[in-house]
Structure 1
Amino acid sequence: MTSPSADRSSREYPDRPWVGVGAVVWRGDRVLLIRRGKAPRLGQWSLPGGAQSVGETVFETAVREVREETGLEIVPTGIVTVVDAITPDAEGRVHYHYTLVEVAAESAEGDPVCADDALEACWATADEAGELTEWDETRRVILMSAAQRLAQRSAQESPGRR
């Protein structure tokens, strides 16, 4: 059920899920967080990201969104997971519905400079990110990405062992 005033292409009360791409950007043992400047989760610490554009790959979306929100250049390294972000309104109707593809990435240099949808940005350890973020899924994705990075490093350090 949609809002009577809902536009079929609107992100609020949509008639279909929107594809969003989140970027789990690492520099050493720190992950990039932004404070969201738009709903949903306005004002909360989160991963940078946004809606995928037509004709754009998931990795291209991650690169563009991080650049737009923080000015940083990233190199995507893989897919972490996919998250369903469904936000109901007070009457239980779907206010927002995003299918979020979470992309792991590395950033070698530069300081984040907030723009677009980001109010603030910071680098945090996984533990610090767990304390800053409010949405359980954000914490889960960061920990999952950290575990994947550790497993990849271990595999690279001991080739031939399985």
Structure 2
Amino acid sequence: MFLVHENFPSVHIFFTIYLSIYLSIYLSIYLSIYLSQFVTVYLSIYLSIYLSIYLSLLQSIYLSMFLSIYLSIYLSIYLSIYLSLLQSIYLSMFLSIYLSIYHRLFIICLSISDDICLSIYLSLLRSIYLSIYLSIYIIYINRTIKSIYLSIKSCIHPFDSLVDE
């Protein structure tokens, strides 16, 4: 099914991708809980760039270009949403834009060989719009969830005294 390169050990490709994504998520959770915010931001960016390079190298050996770009976009969106939920909203907006720009930059530089400047420009433009849209959408979802929670809590609150009696 997949072509195996002679110089690369034959490891099941989906297991390696799954393991790298799992480790990055696990490390991001661990770092966001136990370390300061700036170290978390720095290491999350480092992990994101590392995984972009890793997926691009796997793409050149095993995967088609579209699957590799799909995985990197999925990882970028997942990391942006995850970091937006864990960090304050302004820091996460900056970080998701930053992550998306570097994801596209590395994927485009390592994957596409023709007309690189136009590809980088279009990719950066798309990633900025996507990140701003995701951040605004997350703000909206967060406010919606809070308002639903508060409305349910305010509806239940008058009946709390009846239940206690």
TM-score by length of 2: 0.33
More helix by share: 2
Higher relative contact order (CA 8 A, sep 6+): 1
TM-score by length of 1: 0.33
More strand by share: 1
